[in-house]
């Protein structure tokens, strides 16, 4: 099979020789916990409680909504239940089978995203998108192989694939990685359902957790619109010129929901950066857009 075409000189140039110092991040997650709690007016909720409350709020009707919408639904519904009702709702939700009730899986995904969002103090975090995973696979030289299936793509082993993506992500400016991920989504998932005009979207691409959550939007750092310029679109074509390889890498990225990958972090004051490796996903699919 032919080796993937890479513009090695351009790739070295965009990686740069002197990366900016990474911001200091302070985790909120307790050492004994897999996920941090989610702060809401009047309390802190565990991942299980968040999923149960979101189930009561009916967020399963939204497709990959932004964090601000999830947080608003969580706070509104939580504010209308007492501790006893919360305990009862959580117990009932935990008894529902994910395979039998797909909406339960959607609520687990939403809860997972909210917990990850509050991983750090004064920052918002999120999982990598399908396009960001695809960019890392392509730039790593990982060659997806063909087989006679409906997708036409053989998935790498999760541990090997995740290690390849993580290693490559740490060699790229985070702002560029996000821009390349958006370019993948624009090419292979251009439906307006994903682009900010469909259900579950907010008016502003800078939407993060709602005001009063203790997390800033990061707009003061000048990083808020990371990678959204025409420069990233041009780099996308220059760095990854083979359309068929881009398509195969995006297919793998979209199917990598359970890979353990670094978080994308937007500090309140500071540049975008990579964070800790996220714990095993509670979501049935990887996000197409950033969703913050």
By residue range, what is the domain housing residue 30?
A: 25-277
Ranges 125-129, 174-178, 212-216: which has the least confidence: 212-216
**Considering the domain boundaries, does residue 71 fall inside one?**
yes
What pLDDT is attached to residue 174?
93
Q: Is the pLDDT of residue 66 over 50?
A: yes
**Considering the domain boundaries, does residue 30 fall inside one?**
yes
Q: Is the pLDDT of residue 198 over 90?
A: no
pLDDT: which is higher, 43 or 15: 43
Helix axes 47-57, 67-78, angle to 10 degrees: 90
Q: Strands 123-126 and 262-267: what pairing? A: antiparallel
**Considering the domain boundaries, does residue 219 fall inside one?**
yes
What pLDDT is attached to residue 292?
83
> How many C-beta neighbours within 10 Å does residue 249 have?
29
Distance CA 239, CA 11 (A): 7
Per the structure, how many domains does the chain have? 1
Mean pLDDT of 24-45: 91
Mean pLDDT of 271-287: 85
What pLDDT is attached to residue 94?
96
Q: Is the pLDDT of residue 268 over 80?
A: yes
**Considering the domain boundaries, does residue 290 fall inside one?**
no
What pLDDT is attached to residue 147?
46
Structure tokens that stand for 46 in this block: 């565990």
Residue pLDDT, tens place only, 102-121: 899 889 999 999 999 999 99
27-31, 49-53, 157-161, 170-174, range with greatest mean pLDDT: 49-53
**Considering the domain boundaries, does residue 97 fall inside one?**
yes
**Considering the domain boundaries, does residue 3 fall inside one?**
no
């Amino acid at each position: 099979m032919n080796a993937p075409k890479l513009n090695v000189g351009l790739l070295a140039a965009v990686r740069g020789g002197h990366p900016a110092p990474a911001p200091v991040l302070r985790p909120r997650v307790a050492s004994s916990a897999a996920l941090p709690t989610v702060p809401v007016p009047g309390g802190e909720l565990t991942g299980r409680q968040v999923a149960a409350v979101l189930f009561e709020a009916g967020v399963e009707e939204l497709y990959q909504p932004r964090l601000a919408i999830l947080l608003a639904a969580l706070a509104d519904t939580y504010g209308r239940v007492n501790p006893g009702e919360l305990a009862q709702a959580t117990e009932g939700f935990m008894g529902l089978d994910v395979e039998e009730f797909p909406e339960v899986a959607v609520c687990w995904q939403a809860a997972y995203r909210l917990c990850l969002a509050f991983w750090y103090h004064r920052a918002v975090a999120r999982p990598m998108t399908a396009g960001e995973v695809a960019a890392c696979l392509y730039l790593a030289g990982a060659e997806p192989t063909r087989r006679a299936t409906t997708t036409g793509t053989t998935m790498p082993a999760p541990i090997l694939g995740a290690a390849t993506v993580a290693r490559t992500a740490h060699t790229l400016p985070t702002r560029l990685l996000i821009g390349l991920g958006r370019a993948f989504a624009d090419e292979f998932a251009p439906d307006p359902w994903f682009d900010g005009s469909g259900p579950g979207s907010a008016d502003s691409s800078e939407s993060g957790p709602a005001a009063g959550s203790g997390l800033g939007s990061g707009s003061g750092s000048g990083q808020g619109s990371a990678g959204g310029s025409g420069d990233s679109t041009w780099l996308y074509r220059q760095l990854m010129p083979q359309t068929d390889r881009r398509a195969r890498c995006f297919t793998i990225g979209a199917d990598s929901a359970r890979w353990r990958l670094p978080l994308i972090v937007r500090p309140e004051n500071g540049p975008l950066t990579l964070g800790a490796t996220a714990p095993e996903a509670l979501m049935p699919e990887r996000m197409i857009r950033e969703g913050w």
